[in-house]
Structure 1
Amino acid sequence: MKKIAAALCLLLLLAAGDMAVARPAGGDTEVRLLACHGYGCNFRTMIPLTQQDLQAIRRAFAEYGKTAQGEREAVKKAVAIYEERTTQVIGVRDEPRMAFGRPKRKGQMDCTDESTNTQGVLRYLQGAGYLKFHRSGRPVVRGVFIDGRYPHWTAVMIDDKGGRWAVDSWYGAGGAEPDILPLKEWKKRGRGGRR
């Protein structure tokens, strides 16, 4: 019960804007983002994005960001860049999904960590002016045990027509591109640990 309460508090803070936001690291071109890890944000590490990371993000949006669909592809690339940098800074590659019963493992992330981190990337992208067709939303959960699914969180972005999109980075290992799909479709999934 304590873990559920901690996760809910964390997500309330995120929704209020107190967590996972970009912070200047000493210059206009340096960016640091919060990385939650260890399940339920037991560990917090500031991740400095390098100039190469920022250039790769700029290239992704220059190449793909001309349409809403293309912008979602660029978001996938940006999240993967952030996750790869997170792996390098923490020194541990996040395994796909999570190992139940093994909490507080440095570098490993449950869906609370992943959705918090991905929402932070979305907020950075929005604040930096990369998102032209979307804006950062609030994390959403699916599953309530009685429906045969574990609770599972995802980051969310909202397109300029009001469509909501799940940005779910939990299923892949650290550095993999997240799944981006309509939130309605995402909410129907998740039985038996399947995407």
Structure 2
Amino acid sequence: MGCCGVAHAGASLEVCFNYGCASAVPVILDDDRLATAGEVLHGASDAVTERTAIARAVGMLHRLAGEQTPIVADRAGNFLDNGVDGRMDCIDHSTNTTRFLELMAARGWLRFHRVLPPARRALLIFQHFSAAIEELDVPLAEAPVSPPVAIPDYVATMLALCDCSEVLAEIAPAEHAQTLLRQAEPGARFVVDSWFVDHGEPAVVLPLAEWLNGEGPNVQ
């Protein structure tokens, strides 16, 4: 039983490593072990604290996956573990961390963010990838849910007889509200970069704009 009250029979996903996802191993994360990460996320009270919780949970899930794969040997950057089986470059990290984030989202553990495709930055001749998230303007738990629209009995007949905009106005407000919600401006975006840290440590979370400008720990 997870922290959110929904039962799951564990989680199965693929973890890749050895640079560029050259190797991949399926792992199964059982519910009892996953529950600890879920509790960390469940304790977040807003977007800021959820990002801190996400960083911790990503490290925890990497440690769980390291019990079944050689990624336990991974170290920050690319040079400290060069040639070691289980090493991960930014492609491996961005792929695996995105999968971990999608697992969190699927279980309802992310209330203030949604998962984005991996981000890419290019500085001179170097490229770097990272998992990414977007802050929600309205937390999922608080997002307005439109009630079922009750369509008056006479509407079908009136629509058959005329093209009356005032008739449609009686059933449009709820749909219009949902359209406005879908068209909302995107929220602040962040990277969740586990390449910067040793295996199992909390990932580094940075505003996407800062990361694109080269911000982050000085590792190679």
**Fold match by TM threshold 0.5:** yes
- Tell me the alpha carbon deviations over residues 98-142 of structure 1, each in whole angstroms, 9 at most, x when there is no partner: 139x56x43110000000001111111111111111000011111
In structure 1, the residue matched to 2:188 is 163
In structure 2, the residue matched to 1:28 is 8
Give the secondary-structure state (helix, strand or coil) at the position aligned to 1:129. coil
Equivalent residues in 2 for 1:1-195 (5 A)?
A: 28-63=8-43, 65-91=44-70, 92-99=72-79, 102=82, 105-146=84-125, 150-161=126-137, 162-189=187-214, 194=219
Give the secondary-structure state (helix, strand or coil) at the position aligned to 1:81. helix
Counting aligned pairs with the same residue, the percent is 29
In the alignment, is the contact (CA less than 8 A) between 2:194 and 2:204 conserved in 1? yes
- How far is 1:83 from its partner? 0.8
Q: What is the TM-score of this pair, normalised by structure 1?
A: 0.76
Give the secondary-structure state (helix, strand or coil) at the position aligned to 1:78. helix
The 2-side partners of 1:159 and 1:185 are apart by 16
Give the secondary-structure state (helix, strand or coil) at the position aligned to 1:143. strand
In the alignment, is the contact (CA less than 8 A) between 2:123 and 2:214 conserved in 1? no
Q: Higher Cα Rg: structure 1 or 2? A: 2
Give the secondary-structure state (helix, strand or coil) at the position aligned to 1:139. strand
The 1-side partners of 2:101 and 2:212 are apart by 20
In the alignment, is the contact (CA less than 8 A) between 2:8 and 2:31 conserved in 1? no
The 2-side partners of 1:97 and 1:142 are apart by 16
In the alignment, is the contact (CA less than 8 A) between 2:47 and 2:112 conserved in 1? yes
Which ranges in structure 1 are unaligned for 5 or more consecutive residues? 1-26
Which ranges in structure 2 are unaligned for 5 or more consecutive residues? 1-6, 138-186
Q: What is the TM-score of this pair, normalised by structure 2?
A: 0.68
